[in-house]
Amino acid sequence: MYPAQFDYHTPSSIQEAISLLTRLKDDAKLLAGGHSLVPMMKLRLAQPKHLIDLRKVPGLSGIKEQGGAIAIGALTTHYQVESSALLKQKCPILPETAAQIGDPQVRNMGTIGGSVAHADPAADYPAAVVALGAELVAEGPKGRRAIKADDFFKGLLTTAIQPDEILVEIRFPSWPAGTGMSYMKFPHPASRFAVVGVAAVVTVDGKGACSKAGVGITGAGTKAVRAKGVEAALAGKTLDAATIQAAAEKAADGVDVQDDPLQGSVEYKTHLLKVYCRRALEAALARAKK
């Protein structure tokens, strides 16, 4: 199908884009990579009267170290994340996550900001964003503000970004020495979206005990969430097989697991969450000990 008719805007600055968004309100949609919005437009599930293309706005892409954190521009593509030498060294879970998104065509065009702002419940990045404790920077008429990852994802395709704001950057804090990271998912065979996905970040001290942990869940529910029960079960414990298994059993706690005739029952997804949580924790622990 073809999209419904719309007016196309190409702002040359973030201020111009915000002005357009403020003026056009609900009649406008933002275009980043287009891999979420354009299919919806072709199916006429979305019919914006105005399309605001952000791709010519300078300063919205790139990866850099800044103030003890790594800042990634919202229009940075999945491939740029996947291939970044800086991220492979400092925050390897992000390249690992990006490499599992879609196919090469999607990774060459799709953007980290577009994916996160769209908040698809089966998207991959949100689990890593939550597990790492990222801050998401939105800009609107009143300037910029930082939103904590735990407060960002509100529900199905819903975030804390206001209608007149644009996600411009994601900031990932540095984690201490002795940290290992892993993202694992059970992908849908056609779309490659996560039926369930688990991002695990663990820090171990010199005695092998867990001094810090972050675990994010995607796919099973209506939004990405922090697995607080898993994190609590790891805190201060020596991470042997029994401890990891016991923690992974709490992977579905606090997750609004959805029954889906095409992807599986609540019981099936709950089982997958526990399995993939254990695997992600095991992989993260092995990397932390290197």
pLDDT tens by residue, 200-250: 999 999 888 999 999 999 999 999 999 999 999 999 999 999 999 999 999
Which two tokens mark 146?
A: 């930082």
Based on the fold, state whether residues 270 and 212 are members of the same structural domain: yes
C-alpha to C-alpha distances, 190 to 102, 187, 262, nearest whole angstrom: 9, 8, 12
Residues 184 and 164 in one domain: no
Asked whether residue 150 falls in the same domain as residue 195, the answer is no
In a domain, 259, yes or no: yes
The set of residues, in sequence order, having a beta carbon less than 8 Å from that of 243 and lying 6+ positions away, is 233, 234, 237
In this prediction, residues 68-88 reach a mean pLDDT of 97
User: Distance between CA atoms of 12 and 16, rounded to whole angstroms?
Assistant: 7
Q: Domain check: are 85 and 36 in the same one?
A: no
Domain assignment of residue 58, yes or no: no
Residues 112 and 155 in one domain: yes
CATH number of the domain residue 89 falls in: 3.30.465.10
- Cα distance between residue 267 and residue 258, in whole Å: 10
**C-alpha pair distances (Å), 182 with each of 47, 198, 266:** 38, 8, 24
Residue 197 forms part of a structural domain: yes
pTM over 0.85: yes
The answer to whether residue 2 sits within a structural domain is: no
C-alpha distances in Å from residue 117, one per residue of 7, 152, 160: 22, 9, 9
Segments forming the whole domain that contains residue 16: 7-53
pLDDT confidence band for 262 (50 / 70 / 90): confident
Q: How many domains does the chain have?
A: 3
Same domain, 269 and 194: yes
Residues 195 and 279 in one domain: yes
CA distance 146 to 266: 34
Residue 67 predicted with pLDDT over 90? no
> Among 141, 173, 205, which residue terminates a domain?
173
What is the average pLDDT value for the chain, to the nearest integer?
96
Residues 253 and 184 in one domain: yes
Q: By the 8 A CB rule, do 213 and 234 touch?
A: yes
Residue 154, in any domain of the structure: yes
106, 100, 69: which is closest to 82 by C-alpha? 100
Assess if residue 1 is contained within a domain: no
